[in-house]
Amino acid sequence: MSRAGAAEDADAVLVGGGIMSVTLGLLLARLQPDWRIVLLETRSEPATESSAAWNNAGTGHAGYCELNYMPDPEDPSKAHGVASQFMLSREWWAGLAAEGVLSPAAFIHRAPHLALVFGERNAAYLRRRWEVMRSDPLFAAMEFTTAADEIAQWAPLTMRGRHRTVVAATRHTAGTDLDYGALTRQLAAAFAARGGELRTGHRVRGIRRLAPRRWSVTARTPERDVTFRTRFVFVGAGGATLPLLQTARIPEIDGFGVLPVGAAFYRCAVSEVVAEHAVKVYGQAAPGAPPMSIPHLDRRTVDGAAQLMFGPYATFSTKLLKHGRLTDAPATLRPDNASVVASAVARNLPVVGYLVRQLLASDAARFGQLQQLYPGAERRQWELIHAGQRAQIVAPDAGRGLRGGRLQFWGTRRVITADRSLAGLLGASPGASTSVAAMIELLSRCFPEHWPRWQAELQQAIPGLGRDRWTHRQVEQSLAATDAALAL
């Protein structure tokens, strides 16, 4: 039987040891060094779930190659938004590296980003996408070609052994590969060095309102229950975020639900194969497949070792975290969201069908998808690994009330209470790449009384902060400065 200890007071309690929470923790620790900031993580170290290196694709998402960010070749707004946000991440990490806080060689490496398509219709789409994007300074350096021999130079494995076909590709050489697990652990260490309290082995059990702008957060450890009284709570616990927000009984999440979706990848460590693919190549999703299913063949560098990854393949479990419980997803169903979740499933039957086909696919069928991008792939050189779990957001449809729901495939959703004292982050894409922008926006919304001073301080470390449009000179200066600091 665990014993409850005396309640502790804190200025801010952050739940979850992934990149979002540790980024927010470090920002707060630098901006308000007099605050007591406590970060609670269930497991024995940070970054064991979605932020772990092999639980995600490790792409520095910048809109260069992700075709799902721009399904309409005339509308670059999503790609521009992601690119702008990733520039802020680069500037923040580069500043920390220049201070000696981060060791960039452990988490970031150059990996040009390619988009590769086949067939005349898809080639025409990609050409138009490139024509529209290159007028934006963030994408001005992007290259386009329909020459098979040039694509073979950019990504040799994708063209070797391929029969004659119409092919097109774009490339941006500023692309990156990131080990978000290593980055998160370094940020967590920096947070602790700044006076933040990193409490591992603390499973948060519930959040309860005590008074206006006052909360109680209770966590269980092997020895006892620990309670914190605080005036601000952030829940960045991946798939566990919605269940924890439900314990707080806030109206802002009425009707919200989640559908768990897992992923698997093929991984190759054969040195002669890896040596020929120093890029990330993104293709197009299969007909009827959700946007998150875009196939990609990536160079990864994890723990100093270069490997290749291909995927994703959808998997299914009722767990909301890789280390979660089978009862996780069913436990989130409530009277306010059951019809919303049912409606979202009914309105997305092609996605359900895609998931079923993925689950029933043979190993040969799965490997055939890899061979579409890498015709010469040999099965014996690749192993299938299981990655992290994602809690796909199901949001109420404003036009249908609580009887209508929709799956939200794009973006993250910040849930903030009316008094701005509790916030949570739902969703996964584009995730870690935009962590700095996401947490800075959260600070501006939750702490308007501090924001003018904080913004001035952050502007010194992140020159692009608040910039909606970038000039060619600004892009060149930012990339050059961050490349130098990050040793890219």
pLDDT band for position 227 (cuts 50, 70, 90)? very high
Over residues 262-271, the mean pLDDT reads 95
Identify the residue with better confidence: 3 or 458.
458
Q: Which tens digit of pLDDT belongs to each residue from 433-471?
A: 999 999 999 999 999 999 999 999 999 999 999 998 999
pLDDT band for position 4 (cuts 50, 70, 90)? low
Q: Which tens digit of pLDDT belongs to each residue from 391-446?
A: 888 888 766 554 667 776 656 789 999 999 999 998 766 789 999 999 999 999 99
Rg of the chain over all Cα atoms, to the nearest angstrom: 22
- 103's CB contacts (< 8 A; 6+ apart) are 97, 186
pLDDT confidence of residue 408: 65
pLDDT confidence of residue 1: 42
pLDDT confidence of residue 117: 97
Name the residue ranges covered by the structural domains of the chain.
Answer: 3-478
3-state SS of the chain is CCEECCCEEECEEEECCCHHHHHHHHHHHHHCCCCCEEEEECCCCCCCCCCCHHHCCCECCCCCCCHHHCCCCCCCHHHHHHHHHHHHHHHHHHHHHHCCCCCHHHCEEECCEEEEEECHHHHHHHHHHHHHHCCCHHHCCCEEECCHHHHHHHCHHHHCCCCCCCEEEEEECCCEEECHHHHHHHHHHHHHHCCCEEEECCEEEEEEEEECCEEEEEEECCCEEEEEEECCEEECCHHHHHHHHHHHCCHHHCCCEEEEEEEEEEEECCHHHHCCCCCEEECCCCCCCCHHHCCEEEEEEECCEEEEEEEEEEECCCCCCCCCCCCHHHHCCCCCCHHHHHHHHHCCHHHHHHHHHHHHCCHHHHHHHHHHHCCCCCHHHCEEEEEEEEEEEEEEECCCEEEEEEEECCEEEEEECCCCCEEEEEEEECHHHHHHHHHHHHHHHHCCCCHHHHHHHHHHHCCCCCCCCCCHHHHHHHHHHHHHHCCC
Question: For the chain, how long is the longest CA-to-CA vector?
Answer: 72
pLDDT confidence of residue 8: 94
Residue 290 in this model has a pLDDT that exceeds 70? no
Count CB atoms within 10 A of the CB of residue 331. 12
Distance from chain centroid for Cα 132: 26
pLDDT confidence of residue 347: 82
pLDDT band for position 348 (cuts 50, 70, 90)? confident
pLDDT confidence of residue 259: 85
Per-chain mean pLDDT for the chain: 92
Q: Considering the domain delimited by 3-478, tell me its CATH architecture.
A: 3-Layer(bba) Sandwich (3.50)
Q: Cα–Cα–Cα angle for 468, 471, 477, nearest 5°?
A: 105
Smallest Cα–Cα separation from 67: which of 3, 1, 122?
122
pLDDT confidence of residue 424: 95
pLDDT confidence of residue 475: 97
**What angle, rounded to 10 degrees, do the helices at 451-461 and 77-98 form?**
80
Q: What percent of the chain has pLDDT over 70?
A: 95
Q: Which tens digit of pLDDT belongs to each residue from 41-88?
A: 999 999 999 999 999 999 999 999 999 999 999 999 999 999 999 999
Identify the residue with better confidence: 343 or 436.
436
Over residues 21-39, the mean pLDDT reads 98
Q: Which tens digit of pLDDT belongs to each residue from 370-398?
A: 999 999 999 999 999 999 888 888 888 76
pLDDT confidence of residue 210: 96
Q: Which tens digit of pLDDT belongs to each residue from 103-156?
A: 999 999 999 999 999 999 999 999 999 999 999 999 999 999 999 999 999 999
